[in-house]
């Protein structure tokens, strides 16, 4: 007859102790990982997009525009040596003289820019010199109404006016404070039946 003898009491205690310690180790590891995740939440979950003058042509291109298309005499001039710089001289000739500076993230002509839907805020550093105290920040999605980059849209719904002073100014805002204009159907030619 083959009989098995019971396991020595020392081995079962050691096995139970190792089992208990492995559960405690897993719990301790989970707590440690939670503490690390809380401590490093920002770097782990924050997504940023930064660009500067050296990114011209492969990440963005810049352009300046003025009121000439509306019969004005203001001049906006880009600085080729500094792709994120421009000068503006406002002159009478249009009822509301204007000029501006734009950045397009559609460098390939694909009519796609950057999807900002996963971003929460925007920060622009502006070095400003001039008499005006407000700067208009205008974000535009691709829309046929904006096909002409220099064409101003006085009905733009997706802009904020920011107060500025001379010198370096950080303009910050929440992207949800900008609204995207609702898509409107393309105008159709009116027809009449004789």
**Is residue 194 in a domain?**
no
- Find the domain containing 107 and state its range: 53-177
Q: What is the pLDDT of residue 74?
A: 93
Please report whether residue 27 resides in a domain. yes
Q: Are residues 37 and 125 in the same domain?
A: no
Instruction: Evaluate if pTM is beyond 0.75.
Output: no
Tokens of residue 99, six digits:
């000029």
Structural domain count, the chain: 2
The pLDDT of residue 169 is 79
- Residue 73 and residue 104 in one domain: yes
Asked if 118 and 111 touch (Cβ cutoff 8 Å), the reply is no
Rounded Cα distance, 116 and 92, in Å: 37
Q: According to the 3-state scheme, what is the secondary structure of 101-166?
A: EEEECCCCCCCCCCCCCCCCEEEEEEEECCCCCEEEEECCCCCHHHCCCCCCCCCCCCEEEEECCC
- CB environment 76-109: b (16+ within 10 A), e (fewer): bebeeeebbebebebeeebeebbbbbbeeeeeee
Q: Which residues of the chain have pLDDT under 70?
A: 1-11, 17, 140-162, 178-194
Residue 143 located in a structural domain: yes
**Residue 71 sits in the same domain as residue 114:** yes
Q: Are 27 and 64 found together in one domain?
A: no
């Amino acid at each position: 007859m083959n009989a098995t003898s019971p396991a020595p009491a020392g081995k079962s205690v050691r096995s139970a102790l190792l089992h208990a310690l492995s559960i405690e180790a897993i719990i301790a590891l989970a707590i440690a990982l939670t503490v690390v995740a809380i401590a490093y939440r920002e770097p782990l979950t924050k997504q940023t997009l930064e660009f500067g003058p050296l990114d011209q042509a492969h990440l963005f291109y810049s352009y300046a525009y003025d009121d000439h298309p509306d019969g004005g005499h203001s001049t906006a001039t880009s600085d080729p040596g500094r792709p994120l710089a421009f000068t503006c001289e406002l002159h009478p000739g249009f009822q509301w003289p204007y000029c501006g500076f734009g950045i397009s993230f559609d460098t390939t002509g694909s009519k796609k820019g950057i999807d900002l839907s996963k971003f929460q805020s925007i920060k622009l550093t502006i070095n400003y010199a001039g008499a005006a105290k407000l700067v208009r920040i205008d974000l535009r999605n691709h829309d046929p109404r904006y096909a002409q980059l220099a064409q101003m849209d006085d009905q733009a719904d997706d802009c904020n006016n920011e107060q500025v002073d001379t010198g370096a100014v950080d303009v910050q805002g929440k992207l949800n404070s900008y609204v995207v204009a609702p898509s409107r159907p393309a105008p159709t030619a009116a027809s009449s039946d004789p």
